[in-house]
Amino acid sequence: MSRYVNEKVLDIQQKGSAVSTMELATMVMLNLADDVAQARSELRSYKESVSRKVDQLIDDIDNGMK
């Protein structure tokens, strides 16, 4: 985790987006929050996709048993 945070810090420093330590910390936190939100969205989408596939498989099995 610390490596990931360090990479974010270096990335922001290289872009020259932040001037002070406080601005740098704020930018890093915002970037991390965005990454978490994106990961949650991707996970939600993946879960929905898996659920649909499971439902379809259950329907296929039920129909095959009739």
Residue-wise pLDDT tens for the chain (66 aa)?
899 999 999 988 888 866 789 999 999 999 999 999 999 999 999 999 999 999 999 999 999 876
Q: What is the span of the domain harbouring residue 45?
A: 2-64
- String of b and e for 17-32 (b: at least 16 CB within 10 Å)? ebeeeeebeebbeebe
pTM over 0.75: no
Number of structural domains the chain divides into? 1
